Amino acid sequence: MKYLFLAIMTLQSFIMVAQDNAFYPGKIVPDDRGIHINAHGGGLLYHDGTYYWFGEHKGAHSSAAFVGVTSYSSSDLYHWKYEGVALSVESDPQSDITQGCILERPKVIYNEKTGKFVLYFHLELKGQGYKAARVGVAVSDKVTGPYTFLKSYRPNAGIWPINMTKGQRLDKTKASDFEHRGNKDWRKAVVDGLFTRRDFSGGQMSRDMTLFVDDDGKAYHIYSSEDNLTLQLAELSDDYLSYTGKYVRIAPGGRNEAPALFKRKGTYFMITSGCTGWKPNTARLFTAHSIWGPWTKHPNPCVGIDARLTFHSQSTFVQPVIGKKDAFIFMADRWTPENPIDARYIWLPIRFENGLPILEWFDKWDLSIFEKD
Ligand code: DGJ
């Protein structure tokens, strides 16, 4: 009897959340089947009146990819329909995306010129930990897929970032010149491109990532590079399937992960995290008037209780609310590495104060918050 009562209560709480037009950060987010959404480290794409949510499928015991990238659709951001696996990992052990690889932070953008949907993700080859540090690219004619895997590699091999000086490019200092990582001289060398040079011929490391499409249709890939010490921002080709070769280093030596980029009134904003594995840390905020920089660092955008730990989460994406002025949703993951599938989604409204984003905690909120002063 007691168990029946508990089962009914649990079912009821699922239904209540599913039917409610509200966000409950940190709570279960049931899809149309009543199952907690399994799309971690993800991002949204708004296309033809519908939002699509793409993310990492995670299991109960491992964060490695045994399914692939999942997708969900919604017309209101509250109710989500499961659309299936957009990109499947492959059974061929020779494939870069073989089952058991690490496939993280997938993001999808739509290319107006080709009419194709392009999916980028962070890929680590199976059995190699986080050593490969590659970007993976897949493409589809249909938003929910199936996506065809095209390639994985390290970007910008043989090309210098446009904001690296001639002196930095010619510098002969090598990582092996330092007995210890982390001292003052080493930090200066990192800022001066120690690892950009190391990876010059093989391509730049590409781990945590996002994509951003600007108003003029140009798209950019922003990724943690150089041993996670420095972010890089690289322009994509017109079809979004490769790079133009124009890229910059951002916040050299700043150890930023989890970049989420958005634009408001001509200013570019980027929220990132520090590098503490699955554990939360303090969010960082950068702004720029040109996407190429300079990027200025600001104080932690989070305020209130647990602001120092980004409300126990790590950024993944910022989604503009279509049809509402100045309305942006900050999306983050509250990781649970002991049971990865149970990781929670922290979606919070962004408020602007003196032109800068402010994030504060809400147990429950809805889109009407953007109509308030
Ligand atoms: C933090 C990253 O942001 C995640 O995507 C994941 O790579 C973990 N590190 C792994 O420890």
For residue 58, the domain's CATH number is 2.115.10.20
Residue nearest atom 1 in ligand 1 by C-alpha distance: 277
In a domain, 93, yes or no: yes
Distance CA 343, CA 62 (A): 12
Is 62 a member of any domain? yes
Which pLDDT belongs to residue 38? 98
Give a yes or no: residue 207 inside a domain.
Answer: no
> How remote is the CA of residue 305 from the centroid of ligand 1, in Å?
24
Does residue 352 lie within any of the structural domains? no
Domain presence at residue 121: yes
86 domain residue, yes or no: yes
Residue ID of nearest Cα to ligand 1 atom 8: 277
Average pLDDT per consecutive 10 residues, the chain (373 residues; last block may be shorter): 48 52 98 98 98 98 97 98 98 98 99 98 98 99 98 98 98 94 95 98 98 98 98 99 98 98 98 98 98 98 98 99 96 98 98 98 98 74
CA of 278 to the centre of ligand 1 (A): 6
How high is the pLDDT of residue 19? 54
Query: Domain range spanning residue 124?
Result: 36-153
CA distance 148 to 137: 9
Q: Measuring from atom 3 of ligand 1, which residue has the nearest CA? A: 258
Residue 260 lies in a domain: no
Does any ligand 1 atom lie closer than 6 A to the CB of residue 259?
no
What is the pLDDT at residue 8?
Answer: 46
What's the predicted TM-score (pTM) here?
A: 0.95
Give distance in angstroms: CA of 167 to centre of ligand 1: 33
